[in-house]
Structure 1
Amino acid sequence: MPIVIYRTKQPSEKLACLCDDCWELPAQVSELEKWLDENKNNIYPDEYIADIGFTQRDDACGGGAALSPESMGIMAKAGMSLFLSEYR
């Protein structure tokens, strides 16, 4: 699963797996932002990780994904860290 969102305190709890077989960072960031917006009222302050596993795009030529201030605010309020895990 390219995106895994989980609570890190014991016992750990997986909250979501997103993007099945999509490994492109721009699409994943979009899905993460959608998930955060849909679930912002169900995430209480704790310790979370959103781990995005991505691969380099063959057709990339600059630019790319950007996380919105609103999404960063939701993550900060919840205590969620963002991990970017690059794979070949």
Structure 2
Amino acid sequence: MNTIMLVRVLVSTTHPEYRLVLPGDEAAPAIAPHVQSAIDYLGPWREISKDKFDCTDPEHLEAAEDIAAQGAYLRLITADYIGRVAIQPG
């Protein structure tokens, strides 16, 4: 896996505690259907930044792994929890 990954970071406009990280290049993998359902459920999204993730950072590596496996990385940011949102198929 490359150590640097260009990404787009989006925020849900209806649930602003959720962030969506998508690959920033045109050759992006398809988003898994169960992940797409969660993205759609969380309403419209607005891009807030473009960034370069350094995959030697554990948080960035987690995002890169999810993007490789399911096409997107969904993150929750609250006072009680910050991290990956696990979405089970089916």
TM-score, normalised with respect to structure 1: 0.27
Which one has the largest radius of gyration?
A: 1
Higher strand share: 2
